[in-house]
Amino acid sequence: MTDRLIGATGLAIAVFFAWRATLIEEPFISDPVGPRIFPLIICVLLGLASLGMLLRPDPEPDWPALPGLMEVAAGTVVLVAYAELLPQLGFIIATFFAAGYLAWRLGASPLRATLAGVTISLGIYAVFHLILGLALARGPFGF
């Protein structure tokens, strides 16, 4: 039942986001792919994964106790805060804090979590901004 509920929810979200992605206005001068393709790819992947959960659900899971659910809630709060603070802090700083916190909560020591935050934020920045040339949120320091 749990997988089917999550699958149906994911499928509804995928359809809604796909519809919203088709409403993105394309500028007069843009690259050949356009701004709609990336959100649509994500929608297709989410839709396929959700269909898989609907059609072939796993046995009913054992849900974690309250402390485990609180960890999930805290991770969700961190991801929402990341999305909200990204424009103000910039990609590198916001990603460093979010990735570092999540690595720590997944079991890394504080030192390893800090190193993970630095590596993840700089690595993703290098790939998406320096190599692919995509614009990422600039923070107060201009990067």
Residues 83 and 126 in one domain: yes
**Residue 137: inside a domain:** no
- Using H for helix, E for strand and C for coil, what is the string for the chain? CHHHHHHHHHHHHHHHHHHHHCCCCCCCCCCCCCCCHHHHHHHHHHHHHHHHHHHCCCCCCCCCCHHHHHHHHHHHHHHHHHHHHHHHHCHHHHHHHHHHHHHHHCCCCHHHHHHHHHHHHHHHHHHHHHHCCCCCCCCCCCC
**Residue 61: inside a domain:** no
Domain that holds residue 124: 66-131
Residues 75 and 51 in one domain: no
Per-residue pLDDT tens digits for 99-132? 999 999 999 999 999 999 999 999 999 999 888 8
**Residue 140: inside a domain:** no
**Full-model pTM:** 0.65
Residues 45 and 75 in one domain: no
Confidence band for 15, pLDDT divided at 50, 70 and 90: very high
The residue among 143, 116, 139, 142 whose CA lies nearest residue 128 is: 143
Residues 121 and 97 in one domain: yes
Residues 48 and 72 in one domain: no
**Residue 141: inside a domain:** no
Report which of residues 36 and 106 the model is more confident about: 106
**Residue 22: inside a domain:** yes
Count of domains forming the chain: 2
Residues 11 and 41 in one domain: yes
Residues 73 and 38 in one domain: no
- How many CB atoms are located within 10 Å of the residue 32 CB? 5
Residues 43 and 70 in one domain: no
Whether the CA torsion 43, 49, 53, 59 is positive or negative: it is negative
pLDDT at 65 over 70: yes
